């Protein structure tokens, strides 16, 4: 009995439970989204989810410090795969973001999020507080190098996720508010430069956010169809497999970046609130684990995962309902994609390990 109670204290059931609920929502929504697109996507999504769960249980049973000890090697491999994309990458939808290895498609940008989080946790945990500026600039370089490579693929969404992870982790590591404001001001000053570096279609997407009806059959088409889908769901939704925007193929990328539109159309406002509540519980437990552990690496790992999921989910849901520009960011644990699914579950396993180790 005592062993059972101790095991329960070492296992954060709410962290795992909320993530599992989100993943199940993804499987159910994918079945509908893929039915008229490619039914095989749904079965592969189930396979990716099962693989992610296996990775979660394996990683959570280990000591997370073993993974941070490998951070430099993981980061190096990540950079090599990002560089390999430029040489032998597969182009889809005008972007070169994938590698095909023995017939398996991998997206190196997803593994870069893991690599950057691991390396920043290892590096920043050894720095004094308040965080000296040399550590800020060095950590910015560590996160910035893969971010630039991803930005040039081009993949603006994933590049900004690395920035969000870095900001959250340096803040947890002891960055002062004064320097945070200075960095924020510098980022705003660089926006005109970033605008000039964007591809033409990326600029069109950002401009379509202001007025999607200015180009209803071009850059504004996806966001128009997405908002129609979400709005038509009303309170309770049209029902599973009954969404017209989804089933009649009006909604593009409904299996990936716009799967939340399928949820909104078929499950309505109530379904959307349920998904948001599940993400909120997951993020709350992640924050609690970060605050409850006294070990700096554990704190930083949990902080990195929080920023990763919070930013990515917020941007995805915001762009789906027309509150943010379309930047091509998937919904964690819900959107189609094996690379994303496995890396998120791996990070969740590391945070579960932080919780377990801190109680042993």
Mean pLDDT of 310-338: 93
Please report the pLDDT score of residue 177 as a whole number.
81
pLDDT digits over 262-283, tens only? 999 999 999 999 999 999 999 9
Residue 2 lies inside a defined structural domain of this protein? no
Radius of gyration of the chain (CA): 20
Binning pLDDT at 50, 70 and 90, where does residue 16 land?
very high
Please report the pLDDT score of residue 95 as a whole number.
67
Residue 288 lies inside a defined structural domain of this protein? yes
Would you say residue 9 has pLDDT above 70? no
Please report the pLDDT score of residue 150 as a whole number.
94
Residue 1 lies inside a defined structural domain of this protein? no
The residues, any chain, with a CB within 8 Å of residue 206's CB and separated by 6 or more, are 198, 325
Residue 6 lies inside a defined structural domain of this protein? no
Q: Which residue do the tokens 């644990």 mark?
A: 333
Q: What percent of the chain is predicted at pLDDT more than 90?
A: 67
Residue 158 lies inside a defined structural domain of this protein? yes
User: Which residue range forms the structural domain that includes residue 148?
Assistant: 11-357
Residue 73 lies inside a defined structural domain of this protein? yes
User: Rounded to whole angstroms, what are the CA distances from 23 to 114, 180, 275, 278, 302?
Assistant: 19, 35, 10, 10, 20
pLDDT digits over 115-161, tens only? 999 999 999 999 998 899 899 999 999 999 999 999 988 888 999 99
Closest CA to 263 of 253, 278, 274: 274
Binning pLDDT at 50, 70 and 90, where does residue 94 land?
low
Residue 4 lies inside a defined structural domain of this protein? no
Structural domain count, the chain? 1
């Amino acid at each position: 009995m005592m062993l059972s109670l101790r095991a329960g204290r070492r296992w954060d059931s709410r962290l795992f439970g909320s993530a599992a609920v989100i993943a199940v929502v993804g499987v159910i929504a994918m079945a509908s989204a893929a039915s008229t697109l490619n039914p095989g996507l749904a079965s592969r999504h189930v396979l990716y989810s099962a693989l992610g769960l296996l990775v979660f249980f394996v990683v959570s049973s280990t000591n997370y410090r073993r993974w941070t000890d490998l951070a430099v090697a993981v980061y190096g491999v990540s950079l090599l795969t990002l560089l390999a994309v430029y040489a032998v990458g597969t182009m889809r939808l005008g972007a070169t973001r994938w590698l095909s290895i023995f017939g398996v498609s991998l997206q190196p940008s997803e593994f870069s999020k893991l690599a950057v989080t691991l390396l920043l946790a290892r590096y920043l945990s050894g720095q004094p507080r308040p965080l000296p500026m040399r550590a800020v600039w060095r950590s910015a370089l560590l996160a910035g190098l893969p971010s630039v490579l991803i930005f040039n693929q081009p993949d603006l969404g994933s590049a900004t996720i690395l920035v969000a992870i870095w900001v959250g982790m340096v803040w947890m590591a002891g960055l002062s508010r004064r320097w945070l404001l200075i960095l924020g001001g510098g980022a705003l000053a660089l926006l005109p430069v970033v605008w000039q570096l964007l591809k033409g279609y990326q600029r069109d997407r950002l401009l379509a956010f202001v007025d999607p009806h200015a180009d209803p059959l071009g850059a504004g088409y996806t966001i128009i169809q997405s908002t129609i889908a979400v709005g038509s769901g009303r309170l309770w939704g049209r029902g599973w497999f009954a969404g017209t925007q989804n089933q009649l193929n009006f909604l593009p990328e409904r299996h990936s970046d716009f799967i939340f539109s399928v949820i909104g159309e078929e499950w309505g406002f109530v379904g959307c609130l349920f998904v948001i509540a599940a993400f909120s519980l997951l993020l709350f437990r992640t924050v609690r684990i970060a605050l409850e552990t006294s070990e700096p690496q554990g704190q930083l790992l949990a902080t990195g995962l929080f920023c990763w999921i919070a930013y990515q989910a917020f941007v995805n849901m915001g762009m789906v309902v027309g509150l943010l520009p379309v930047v091509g960011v998937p919904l964690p644990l819900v959107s189609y994609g094996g690379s994303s699914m496995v890396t998120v579950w791996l990070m969740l396993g590391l945070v579960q390990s932080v919780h377990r180790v801190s109680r042993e």
